[in-house]
Amino acid sequence: MLIVLSPAKTLDYDTPASTDKYTLPDFIEHSAELIDILKRLSPAQLASLMGISDPLAVLNVARYASWTREFTRPAAKQAILAFNGDVYEGLGASTLSKRQLDYAQTHIRILSGLYGVLRPLDLMQPYRLEMGTRLANARGKDLYAFWGDAVTAALDETMQAKKFGTLVNLASEEYFKAVKPKLLRAQIITPVFEDWKGGRYKVISFYAKRARGLMARFAAENGIKRVEKLKEFDAEGYAFDEKASTEKSWVFRRRVVD
């Protein structure tokens, strides 16, 4: 079983890493190609391209300017500890044990607009580049064209090498579009998290993102290898709903008081 997650926009490079163990990304040269394109953009151009504020644009122009092929700490940090959004608050990687981090390194991959695919302990330098960004490049009009089949091939290679038969999609739609299911020699299962609101169950973005991280943590804490064991996920009140689920879409619901 291999789990895929989205990255986060929010980063934490201030908190010391909870482990000294690290690896390096597989696609550094690809990342360097994108950085070379991004370095040509002014703050105003970057703000327009990404739809971000001027201060954020200035920050990221500085990040691109300082990016280097040499990944050294503290300028670089393990991906699972550097990302700090809703998913990663649910995951709480800094409190995972060594054994649980080892599990994550084997069973979790993080999709990235700049780095393609990251292992949890891969060092990364701070950046902002969402997968849906329409950044023109030599391979096409956007990042989906840039990465082509590379992301899928990397995931498939990992799964074949480790004899994993299932990909668990805990990524957002934007990021999972970088994966080409027909090229994967594995079944794909997508957990869906719904909360009771306004008289019905619905996906509430904030809670769903956090739940993806909680499920990844649940897998790491329990050393889950058989995907069926994920149906036992019960963090923060969620429970598997067999009637609402299909073979490929597993629904987990939580009843909250309006």
pLDDT digits (tens, 9 = 90+) for 168-208: 999 999 999 999 999 999 999 999 999 999 899 999 999 99
244 has a pLDDT exceeding 80: yes
Q: Where are the domains of the chain?
A: 2-254
The per-residue pLDDT for 54 is 96
pLDDT digits (tens, 9 = 90+) for 93-107: 999 999 999 999 999
The per-residue pLDDT for 73 is 83
Instruction: Tell me the C-alpha distance between 233 and 214, whole Å.
Output: 9
Mean pLDDT, the chain, whole residue set: 96
pLDDT digits (tens, 9 = 90+) for 63-76: 999 999 999 888 99
- String of b and e for 177-189 (b: at least 16 CB within 10 Å)? ebbeeeebebeeb
The per-residue pLDDT for 114 is 98
Q: Are the CB atoms for 159 and 181 separated by under 8 Å?
A: no
pLDDT digits (tens, 9 = 90+) for 104-124: 999 999 999 999 999 999 999
Residue whose pair of structure tokens reads 């089949």 in the numeric block: 149
- Comparing C-alpha atoms, which of 32, 11, 28, 29 is closest to residue 77? 11
Instruction: Tell me the C-alpha distance between 82 and 103, whole Å.
Output: 18
248: its two tokens: 């490929």
pLDDT digits (tens, 9 = 90+) for 40-66: 999 999 999 999 999 999 999 999 999
Model confidence pTM above 0.85? yes
Average pLDDT over every residue of 144-161: 98
Sorted by sequence, the CB contacts under 8 Å of residue 240 that are 6+ apart come out as 231, 232, 233, 250, 251, 252
66: its two tokens: 């300082």
